[in-house]
Structure 1
């Protein structure tokens, strides 16, 4: 299959499947399953970044003295972007745990303004566009790494998309409307993938650095967001550990 078609398919899967999975988690499955999804996502993100992306960056010819400063700067950069509410838009009371989403959707009486909702969709679109760029860079490195990166994108999008649903519904949106506009936002990953394919294809020297940024993104999300939530899970520790190991195993396979 041509590489561009694989990138398009991966971007669509990364956007649409994560959106539908989040919708299922929000309205079709018990709330406790979302915490298990977080554990699975943690394993996928850490394994993809440390066992696929960073080794690939090192094997591309970059030295450790070149790779790890970029990794450090990227992790710190994501922290700054998050603080500026650009990267994962911690919007007002959206900083409450996604593990408590279902109850908040039905009990919250607070309605965000149209500007706040628009900011959520724009921020989510930017995030998805960036995911598309990272997916394309991974495929240009190696299709196998591209699919592993796609799995990691889907895994970390599930709790984020679930959080977006919670905020949009708390703002008074109907479920169908929230699903539609989140779907439109998710298509930004396709645009990111196409643009990255045609630009990075002619600037191959940049690809290893994009791969490092992708690894930093996954490490930051796992360590700064997902693992702190799991620290407060005192029930089902065995299942959480199993879900993390499943995420790692599937990534290796």
Structure 2
């Protein structure tokens, strides 16, 4: 409960600070750090933890494939993440088109985020049941990838007519759905420990998909050496953080 609450409140509060104008230049840096944390959490800790169990490796690989495809479909249907447009973005829309679209999307975004955060809570619970160290880095990875996503959601909500306080309040309520997911995951998975390896693999598929399909392409748009060096350093920092937190 503490991990899911901190993950939700911290990510929403940090996103609000960035969205409301402070430290906005750090958002791009957060993307690189997120990639390092998510990939290293998946490949260096969660997946090895799952494959060291008694679960059938073929079934675990099938779960990984199913997870990647599931996150692809979720993205396609705009449940997990959302495409945002802004006035003056270079597209030919009538005046007010984007604000109108954002207004229609505002509540949909909140519902989608609530479901997403509920799932995150289940994944955090599964990770803690497998290993407290894994639970810690899973929560950290979720915070790292939630902040850039929530920033986009804040922008849309503000454009949809929400006040800053209202946007923060509703986003906070949605983020606390992770607590409900964590409680459900803890009491459900505690009785079915054999399911934990599969949940860990599914969580890893989500981290891998988000990092590879969303975050890394954003980084590729900045191809100069001056921009690439900090990206590589921050990815490395993310890996080091995970290795430090999961050392035995």
Normalised to the residue count of structure 2, the TM-score between the two structures is 0.89
Q: Is the 8 A contact 1:75 1:217 kept in 2?
A: yes
Instruction: Note the C-alpha offset of 1:112.
Output: 3.6
Matched with 1:169 is 158
Which residue is 1:204 aligned to? 193
- State whether residues 112 and 170 of structure 1, in contact with CA within 8 Å, keep that contact through their aligned partners in structure 2: no
Say which of 209, 218, 243 aligns to 1:220: 209
For 2:101 and 2:120, the matched residues in 1 are separated by: 27
- Is 1:81 the counterpart of 2:70? The answer is no
Kindly provide the CA deviation profile for residues 86-127 of structure 1, in whole angstroms up to 9, marking residues without a partner as x: 222x25638xx9xxxxxxxxx996234655211110000000
Question: Partners of 2:239 and 2:169 in 1: how far apart?
Answer: 32
- Give the secondary structure class of the aligned counterpart of 1:236: helix
SS at match of 1:93: coil
Matches within 5 A, 1:45-56: 45-56=38-49
The separation in 1 between residues aligned to 2:184 and 2:40, in whole angstroms, is: 27
Partner of 2:85: 93
Displacement of 1:20 in angstroms is 1.0
The equivalent residue for 1:26 is: 19
- CA distance in structure 1 between the aligned counterparts of 2:97 and 2:219, rounded to whole angstroms: 24
Matches within 5 A, 1:1-253: 8-88=1-81, 90-91=82-83, 93=85, 110-112=99-101, 115-233=104-222, 234=224, 235-253=226-244
- 1:165-209, Cα deviation, whole Å (9 max, x unpaired): 010011111111101100000010000000111111111111110
Distance 1:236 1:113 in 2: 31
SS at match of 2:100: coil
Distance 1:177 1:188 in 2: 17
Residues 45 and 219 of structure 1 are in contact (CA less than 8 Å); yes or no, is this contact kept in structure 2? yes
In the alignment of these two chains, the number of paired residues is 234
Asked if structure 1 preserves the Cα contact closer than 8 Å seen for 2:128 and 2:135, the reply is yes
